[in-house]
Amino acid sequence: METIPADLRKVLAANAKAKVIWNDLTPISRRDFISWIESPKQPETRIRRVGRVCDMLISGKRRPCCYAIVPMNLYKSLNGLPKAKAHWKTLTPDERRDFVDWIESAKDTAMHVGRIEKVCVLLLKGKRHL
């Protein structure tokens, strides 16, 4: 189970409706919100994001908008394959997240590299899923 940052825990505790929705999110969705909150370089950005979470949840957002981290080596591989990169851009955020999660779950560097190669091949074939 993920560790909820104290500032996020505080705003969720103050908003019962948002807290119920938070608890209904998938672990991946919660992780995405937490990563989104923890990723900015400026403290003001973090404060602003924490302040938006409850409104986002209540309005029906199950993940932060357009948030999908792309591993740098996948990004570089896609830059060398224009057709795969073009197809990547057509994927939904959930489809991209599925590919990224699978790559990131590799146990070692060789497996990680192999998975990136496989994703590139799948994208070149127009696939949307593993």
Identify the pLDDT of residue 36: 85
CA 51 – CA 60 distance, rounded (Å): 16
- Does 26 lie in the same domain as 54? yes
- Does 76 lie in the same domain as 114? yes
Rounded alpha-carbon distances, angstroms, from residue 54 to 48, 78, 86: 12, 35, 34
Identify the pLDDT of residue 80: 94
For the chain, the 3-state helix, strand and coil shares in percent, each to the nearest 5, are 70, 0, 30
Q: Is residue 67 part of a domain?
A: no
- Does 76 lie in the same domain as 53? no
For the question of whether the overall pTM of this predicted structure is more than 0.75, the answer is no
* Residue 49: domain span: 6-58
- Does 80 lie in the same domain as 52? no
Select from 64, 14, 22, 56 the least CA-distant residue to 39.
Answer: 64
CB atoms within 10 A of CB 92: 10
Q: How many domains does the chain have?
A: 2
Select from 91, 130, 101 the least CA-distant residue to 28.
Answer: 101
- Does 77 lie in the same domain as 45? no
pLDDT tens, N- to C-terminus, the chain (130 residues): 568 999 999 999 999 999 999 999 988 889 889 988 887 888 999 999 999 999 999 999 888 866 556 777 898 899 999 999 999 999 987 788 889 889 888 888 999 999 999 999 999 999 999 9
Select from 63, 96, 66, 92 the least CA-distant residue to 78.
Answer: 96
**What angle in degrees, to the nearest 10, is found between the helix axes of 82-90 and 109-124?**
80
- Does 120 lie in the same domain as 76? yes
- Does 15 lie in the same domain as 43? yes
CB atoms within 10 A of CB 61: 16
AA letter at 124: L
Q: Is residue 130 part of a domain?
A: no
Q: Is residue 129 part of a domain?
A: no
Identify the pLDDT of residue 40: 80
